[in-house]
Amino acid sequence: MIQQFSDLTGVYSPTQRSYLEAVMYGSIPGAGSFSTNGEYTTIGVVTNFPVCSLGAVNVPVSTGVRMSFTGGAQDSPSGTGIGYIAVTHIRADYTEQVEIVTLNATTPVLSSVTDTVFINDVVTYSHYTAYPPNNTTGFASADITVSNAGTNYAIILSGRRRQFSAYKMIPKGKVFIPQLIVTSSVSGSGGTAKFYIVFRSTTSPYFVPTNGIGMEDATSVIDLKYGRPITAGTIMGVEATTSKACIITASLIGHTETL
């Protein structure tokens, strides 16, 4: 049943916002919006390919690892690229921690978090001091990587301001309630694409597909309001199979609630 809540207090009212609207406005204690935003440009045919900037989903050991952050020559507080990034870690106990990292150009910077099991987000936190209003600087001057022992776990691609990934891990104490999946494929020449929502549980090394969507140079929005809640530690995402080179995007949109 969809309940109704008042605009300001979160107290039940039959004449005000729906439950999902109240979640978006922050009126429901312990609930909040939670979504993924993935993008990748393929160079040809791909099969069961993860929709994310890195083009791969690497998962560390269950005890977690310590990440390091490396940018391009201009990615520092005194450069013309990105000076600081906000990194959302999921730790070994599945708690979420946001870390603000000061980049040091091509010199690796070690994380203060030593037990990361997944990177949920990497985004520009602040540009360099002299950032002008003409929007010509403040982009990654080269790929900004999040890595451990030579393996990349997240990336902001050169010329971008954030990682675009359709993959996230549900934090501790939360369940994810899916509402929509939005997918698109652009080839300019009749390329076809099929997308699958995938899940990786805490007890399995595999991503299991469900909810397939096919399209040809189009955008699709599908209601997932009857989807099951996704529990903490589960990694959700979207993978794609394409017939030729395409720009593929995918977003899972919903909200989390406290258990």
What pLDDT is attached to residue 79? 87
Q: Is residue 109 part of a domain?
A: yes
Based on the fold, state whether residues 73 and 137 are members of the same structural domain: yes
Q: Is residue 215 part of a domain?
A: yes
What pLDDT is attached to residue 16? 53
Based on the fold, state whether residues 152 and 175 are members of the same structural domain: no
- Pick from 118-127, 172-181, 240-249: least confident: 118-127
For 114, 119, 163, the CA distances from 168, given in Å and listed in that order, are: 19, 8, 12
The tally of domains found in the chain comes to 3
Please say which residue of 136, 156, 176 terminates a domain: 156
Based on the fold, state whether residues 40 and 85 are members of the same structural domain: no
Q: Is residue 92 part of a domain?
A: yes
Residue 243 φ/ψ, nearest 5 degrees: -90, -15
Residue 109 CB burial class (10 angstroms; 0-12, 13-18, ≥19) = middle
Q: Is residue 198 part of a domain?
A: yes
Based on the fold, state whether residues 178 and 221 are members of the same structural domain: yes
More confident residue, 226 or 98: 98
Q: Is residue 185 part of a domain?
A: yes
- C-alpha dihedral sign at 98, 100, 106, 107: negative
CB contact set of 133 (below 8 Å; sequence gap of 6+): none
What is the maximal distance between C-alpha atoms in the chain?
57
Q: Is residue 236 part of a domain?
A: yes
More confident residue, 129 or 148: 148
Give the separation between CA 83 and CA 220, rounded to whole angstroms.
Answer: 36
Based on the fold, state whether residues 26 and 82 are members of the same structural domain: no
Based on the fold, state whether residues 132 and 107 are members of the same structural domain: yes
Residue 149 CB burial class (10 angstroms; 0-12, 13-18, ≥19) = exposed
CATH number at residue 234: 2.60.120
pTM equals 0.88
Q: Is residue 60 part of a domain?
A: no
Based on the fold, state whether residues 113 and 178 are members of the same structural domain: no
pLDDT grade for 31, boundaries at 50, 70 and 90: confident
Assess whether pLDDT exceeds 70 at residue 8.
Answer: no
Please say which residue of 128, 156, 184 terminates a domain: 156
* Percent of the chain scoring above 90 in pLDDT: 71
The range of the structural domain enclosing residue 108 comes to 68-156
Based on the fold, state whether residues 187 and 246 are members of the same structural domain: yes
**Mean pLDDT for all residues in the chain:** 88
Q: Is residue 162 part of a domain?
A: no
Based on the fold, state whether residues 109 and 171 are members of the same structural domain: no
